[in-house]
Amino acid sequence: MKTLRVLSPTAILGYGYPMESFRRGLAARPDVIAVDAGSIDPGPFYLGAGKSFTQASAVKRDLRPILQAAKELGIPVLIGSAGGSGARPHLDWLWDIVMDIYREDQFRLKTAAVAADIPKEEVQKALAAGEIEPCGPAPPLTAAALESTQRLVAQMGTEPYLEALNEGCQVVVAGRAYDPAPFAALPILHGFDPGLALHMGKILECAAIAADPGSGADCMLGTITTDSFRLEPLNARRSCTRRSVAAHTLYEKSDPYLLPGPGGRLNLEQTVYSAVNERVVEVRGTRFEPTPYKVKLEGAGLVGYRTISIAGVRDPIMLEQLNAILEDVRTHVFGQLEGASAGELNFRCYGRDGVMGSLEPEPVVGHEVGLVIEATAPSQEQASSLCGLARSTLLHYGYPGRISTAGNLAFPFSPSDVDCGPYYSFTVHHLLPAVDAGRRWFTVVKEVG
């Protein structure tokens, strides 16, 4: 039976993986090593600021054995969402790490970098033509939101990987990519069913998270055949079960049966999960249904600057009336600080509703609350002033029933106020029609070897 093996070392480059697991994966003679290098999950800052949420030293540590194995086994390495958010600064950052490894280890593979940045002018034309639609619950895109966007990328599908592989590239470092794309590319190139290939990629992109116990810092092997694929964790203490694999298929999905992606969707209505043994699961029946080709756009723009202060509150008298106290402090601060109306002041009460805020179904206060004072403003100086006044006002606020005249807050750190620098928001989270799978956008910008 025709088979192809895909080795996924870690959920994201920089998260790490046990070398024993990796060596076990190499012993299985994989046909490709594929790895995700990023995610939108850490929020808009990293896209807007052009910075990675992983450390260069950790990424280099993970990548070196992967590139060495590719050289020794003669297999390709496919990387998605370079540098975290996959914009050009992130792509350049990861490219430099790859080049450092080549220089230090004195070898080089034919390597291509594929950019995912979309010219804003292209999106403006599509917006004017009424072609842009929200992705999920996002509001309609406006010209003002697009204008405020500092970095704009689109999720590429498998097509740029296929073209690079057909050109003989051994390593492909891609910008923002549809998560399953680097894992599904080689199977699709070799004629395997795209539904099975993309479903397998959907699970492998998180490495061993789909195992039990799950971990994003461990390796997973996927083996695809003509009518199924198998998943095997490469750490002896982990197992893939029908439940763990089926549950991870639902990861980050709003529909349990229809999973959209660029150029089509996965239909899982007839998918069957079967246990091969106590550690391996086989998956059958997933179908790929072509749809008009659209790519998901992601954009971020600068909003302002942030300063925070972290404190603890333990006085039961104060906790009983915390909402009223915080509102009174807010009123006092904005009445005292000149120009403060240009900023915002938020209080996050952990131990009550700090995680879910107004959506918390059981906002019950315990014997203590962790309080985060967050001030945002157009400049760092304004944010710092706003936070400082809020912190000092709350520290000595005289609330009804107060007995002690000492401070109301316990600060775990000194200095108590932390300037967080610029903060960003997602300005674009929309779908754009892509003619010819977006080949005019997803271009090779660097190549060596």
Residues 117-155: pLDDT tens digits? Answer: 999 999 999 999 999 999 988 999 999 999 999 999 999
pLDDT at 263: 95
Q: Sort 120 into a burial class: Cβ within 10 Å, 0-12 / 13-18 / 19+.
A: middle
Across 381-393, average pLDDT: 95
| pLDDT number for residue 280 | 98
Determine the Cα–Cα distance for residues 44 and 208; give it in Å rounded to an integer: 26
Q: Is residue 138 part of a domain?
A: no
- Residue 224, pLDDT > 70, answer yes
Mean pLDDT value across residues 167-175? 98
Q: Are residues 243 and 329 located together in one domain of the fold?
A: no
127 assigned to some structural domain? no
Q: Using one digit for the tens of pLDDT, what is the confidence trace for 390-411?
A: 999 999 999 999 988 889 999 9
pLDDT at res. 342: 76
Do 248 and 393 lie in one domain? The reply is: no
Do residue 372 and residue 444 come from a single domain?
no
Total structural domains in the chain? Answer: 2
Q: Is residue 336 part of a domain?
A: yes
Written as one letter, the residue type at 112 is A
Q: What confidence score (pLDDT) does residue 360 get?
A: 87
Look over the chain and give the mean of its residue pLDDT values, rounded to a whole number. Answer: 95
Clarify whether residues 191 and 221 are in a common domain.
yes
Could you tell me the pLDDT band of residue 426, with boundaries at 50, 70 and 90? very high
pLDDT at 341: 62
Q: What is the pLDDT of residue 339?
A: 56
104 vs 28: CA distance, rounded Å: 28
pLDDT, tens digit, 9 for 90 and up, residues 312-345? 999 999 999 999 999 999 999 998 876 556 799 9
133 within domain boundaries: no
The residue assigned the tokens 């754009």 is 432
Q: Is the pLDDT of residue 57 over 70?
A: yes
Provide the residue range defining the domain that includes 328: 302-427
Give yes or no: residues 243 and 313 share one domain: no
pTM of the model: 0.94
Best CA proximity match to 179, nearest among 152, 160, 198: 198
Mean per-residue pLDDT for 201-227? 97
